[in-house]
Amino acid sequence: MSNKTIIAHRGASGYLPEHTVACKAMAYAMHPDFIEQDVVLSKDKIPIVIHDIHLDTTTNVSTLYGDRRREDGRYYVIDFTFEELKTLKVHERIDISSGKAVYPNRFPLGKLRFGLHSLAEEIELIQGLNKSTGYNIGIYPEIKDPQFHRNEGMDISLIVLGILREYGYTSKKDLCLLQCFDGLELQRIRTELKCELCLVQLMELESEIKSIPHFANYVDGLGPWLGLLNVSNLMELAKEHHLFVHAYTLRAEELNNALSFDDLLYKILIKDGVDGVFTDQPDLVLNFLNRVP
pLDDT in tens, 186-202: 999 999 999 999 999 99
Active-site annotation holder among 19, 31, 51, 91:
51
Choose the catalytic residue: 9, 19, 117, 246: 9
- Amino acid 74 reads R
Long-range contacts of 162-168 (CB under 8 A, 24+ apart): 163/47, 163/119, 163/120, 163/123, 164/197, 166/120, 167/120, 167/123, 167/124, 167/127
d(CA 223, CA 192): 22
19 flagged as catalytic: no
pLDDT at 1: 40
pLDDT digit string (tens) for 226-270?
A: 999 988 899 999 999 999 999 999 999 999 889 999 999 999 999
Nearest to 8 by CA among 120, 164, 125: 125
pTM of the entire structure?
Answer: 0.97
* The CA-based dihedral angle spanning residues 277, 279, 281, 284, taken in that order and rounded to the nearest 10 degrees: -20
Q: Domains of the chain (ranges plus CATH)?
A: 5-52+119-291 (3.20.20.190)
The rounded distance, in Å, linking the Cα atoms of 246 and 254 is 18
- Identify whether 54 is a catalytic site residue: no
pLDDT of residue 19: 98
Instruction: Give the number of other CB atoms < 10 A from CB of residue 124.
Output: 13
How far is it, in rounded angstroms, from Cα 272 to Cα 268?
Answer: 5
| Percent of the residues in the chain that have a pLDDT greater than 70, as a whole number | 99
- pLDDT tens digits, one per residue of 96-154: 999 999 999 999 998 999 999 999 999 999 999 999 999 999 999 999 999 999 999 99
pLDDT in tens, 16-75: 999 999 999 999 999 999 999 999 999 999 999 999 999 999 999 999 999 999 999 999
pLDDT in tens, 207-229: 999 999 999 999 999 999 999 99
Burial 260-271, CB ≥16 within 10 A → b, else e: ebeebbebbbee
